Amino acid sequence: MQKAAFSQRSPTNRLLLGLIITLAAVLAYASYITVQLAGLRKLQSEMVDRNRKDSLQLLRIQNDLNSIALAMRDMLDTTEPYPLTAWTAQFERIQQDLDAGLKLEENLAGASRTPDQRKYLTQSVAQFWDAVSRMFALAQTGKEPDAREQIRLSLQARQQALSTAVSRLLVENNEGEEQAAASIAKIYDGVQRQLYLFLAATLIAIVLTSLYLIRANRQLFARLAELSEQRSELAQKLISTQESALRHISRELHDEFGQVLTAIGSMLRRAAKQAGEGSPLHQDLKEVQEIAQSTLNNIRTLSQALHPVLLEEAGLESTLDWYIPTVGRQAGIDLHYEKSGKPFPVETSAGVHIYRVLQEALNNVSRHSGARDAWIRLKYQADSLELEVEDHGTGFVGEKMQRGIGLVAMRERAELIGGTLAITPRPQGGTSVCLQIPREKVESHAA
């Protein structure tokens, strides 16, 4: 149920949704920009570039018309020794260039020119060259004064009219260019506005996503802490339950079975006396009595191991004095036990946990370290009690440490009594387990 609730609150889906929305926005904006750029390019190539090229051709035409005007001025200047026909090649050259310019210009002008404008320009140019031909024809037949008159009366006026028409087209082109420039500026403004909007939206999306992520993270950590607390509580309850169960079993074993076996022993002793010494029955009863005694001893040891009653009766220090040599003997390890500092009484409930930590640590030494020696130091310090178990074995930190339930229990016990447990590998090999409890948490004030 909790798992389901947690998965419902997972930010992944929302983040994915956000990502999709962001990508969609980027795509949409990119498409918008592409469309605008295409429009801009079209406007630039079709309008501005074409206009500019057209203007260049118009300038070329205007230049040719000016050359014609200058040539006609020279033709009317009678200081020139050559006949008017001398200008034929010059006019042919200009006509060639003018025709080429007009042709290019017409293609470039395209739709921007009205049919009337086209017609006027074409016809005016054609009429001009007709008049030029007539003038040269007159000159060729020796009628130079008539030809000059033709220039003065007709050609110069036509040239001026053409020049004016071309100037007007140039002005129109200029206006067109200004309009195109305005359109381009409009597009730029639009794109700029959209860009700001997009940037603002992106910024907002980033801020919202970040806030959402922070919130989700906080929730996640709070949940983790809660879970950890629950787990710790559970572990401690488990330990308490285990401890009370063990104490109960220990008492039962000690009190009930102890008394029963003690009674069985007394009864067997009495029965053996009645059977008479040296009789086979006496011998058998003696053996049964020894078995009962041995079982009683075992039960006492087991009871002591499950919950050392000694702790409650004699305190931690005495219990350790008894326990360490016992376990050393049983496990076959040389245990070097050192005490330091000024001893102070330890509360039984705390003593149980300290005892259990020691028990687990020594258990680990005997089972995993492979060491033949171990050092146990109990330090009574001014503000704390410290218990250190050190071995010079192969060490069990690492993988074993992560997997062992015993180690978890050691930590839980340490926490239960408000202390800390440090398990550190020694640089020279082996492991050091150090339990440190503040003095006020363990010191018994009962005495």
Partner 1 sequence: MNRRNFLFTSLGAGLSAIATPQHIFANPASNLGFRLTDVTNAAGIHFRHNSGAYGGKLLPETLGSGCAFLDYDADGWQDILLVNGMDWPGHKRQRSTLQLYRNNRNGTFTDVTKKAGLDLELYGMGVAAGDYNNDGFPDIFITCVGQSRLFRNTGKGTFVDVTRSSGLFGRQGFSTSALWFDYDRDGLLDLFVCNYVRWSPEHDVFCSLDGTHKSYCTPEAYRGDTCWLFHNRGDGTFEDVTPTSGIFDSSSKSLGVAMLDYDQDGWPDLLVANDTQPNKLYGNLHNGKFRDVAVEAGLAFSTEGKARAGMGVDVGDFENSGKPGIAITNFDNEMIGLYRATKPGVYDDVATLAGIGAASKNTLGFGCLFLDIDLDGKLDLAVANGHIDETVRNIRGNVGYAQPPQLFLNQGSGKFQDVASEAGGGFDTPKVGRGLAYGDFDRDGDLDILITTNNGPAYLYGNEQFTGNGSIRFELKGTKSNRDAIGATVQTFAGDLYQSRMVRGGSSYLSQSELPLTFGLAKRDKIDRVVIDWPSGRTEEYKNLSARKAYKCLEGKGMEPL
Q: Closer to partner 1 at the Cβ: 132 or 306?
A: 132
Site for partner 1 in 410-429 (CB under 8 A): none
Q: How far is CA 420 from CA 353, 412, 415, 439, in A?
A: 12, 9, 6, 12
Structure tokens at 73: 């001025």
Residue 333 in contact with residue 372, Cβ under 8 Å? yes
Report if residue 86 touches partner 1, rule: CB under 8 A.
yes
Q: Enumerate residues 368-387 that contact partner 1 by CB under 8 A.
A: none
Question: Interacting stretch for partner 1, rule CB under 8 A, among 67-75, 238-246, 362-370, 406-414?
Answer: 67-75
- For position 203 contacting partner 1 by CB under 8 A, the verdict is no
What are the backbone dihedrals phi and psi of residue 446, each rounded to the nearest 5 degrees, phi first? -65, -35
Q: Does 76 bind partner 1 (CB under 8 A)?
A: no
Told to check if 211 binds partner 1 by CB under 8 A, we report no
Q: What are phi and psi of 193, to 5 degrees?
A: -60, -45
Identity of the residue, 74 or 317, whose beta carbon is nearer to partner 1 in the bound complex:
74
Distance, CA of 187 to CA of 440 (rounded, Å): 79
437 touches 419 (CB < 8 A): yes
Q: Please, are residues 184 and 153 in contact by the beta-carbon 8 Å criterion?
A: no
How many residues bind partner 1 (CB under 8 A)? The answer is 15
Is 355 near partner 1 (CB under 8 A)? Answer: no
CA distance 348 to 216: 45
- Written as six digits, the tokens of 273 are 């006396």
The radius of gyration of the chain's CA atoms, rounded to the nearest angstrom, is: 57
State the minimum distance, in angstroms, from the CB of residue 162 to partner 1: 18
Find the part of the chain contacting partner 1 (CB under 8 A) among 80-88, 181-189, 274-282, 307-315: 80-88
Q: By CB under 8 A, is residue 82 in contact with partner 1?
A: yes
Nearer to partner 1, 56 or 288 (CB): 56
Residue 384: in which H helix or E strand, if any?
Answer: strand 384-391
Site for partner 1 in 90-129 (CB under 8 A): 90, 93, 97
Task: Report if residue 89 touches partner 1, rule: CB under 8 A.
Answer: yes
Interface positions with partner 1 (CB under 8 A): 67, 70-71, 74, 80-83, 85-87, 89-90, 93, 97
